[in-house]
Structure 1
């Protein structure tokens, strides 16, 4: 007997979800708007470039002393 991977019947819900009060699941199907991480942290391009340069310099220095 083959069963579909996605059960679309409402009677096939998970018991825990069925036990939750209705107000908890009101926003369950809504998608939150996401903000890119650099806007959330308010980083400028110059700051990101300096972080990348610092990381690259540290990486090269570490590999120089290891090798």
Structure 2
């Protein structure tokens, strides 16, 4: 079976997702792109805790 790299129609789906059984695809839903770029409190907390942990680790190795 030969497939082209360029899809000729917009309704073509990914081969793996098309091969999934119906009970698995039932729980899939599209995530809007805006939700992926939204900055949340968990993101800020993660960056701050990583920064503090790395600063303390570097300071501990220096001293």
Task: Bin the TM-score by the shorter chain.
Answer: 0.3 to 0.5
What TM-score, normalized to structure 2? 0.35
Q: Which has the higher contact order (CA 8 A, sep 6+)?
A: 2
Question: Which structure has the greater CA radius of gyration?
Answer: 1
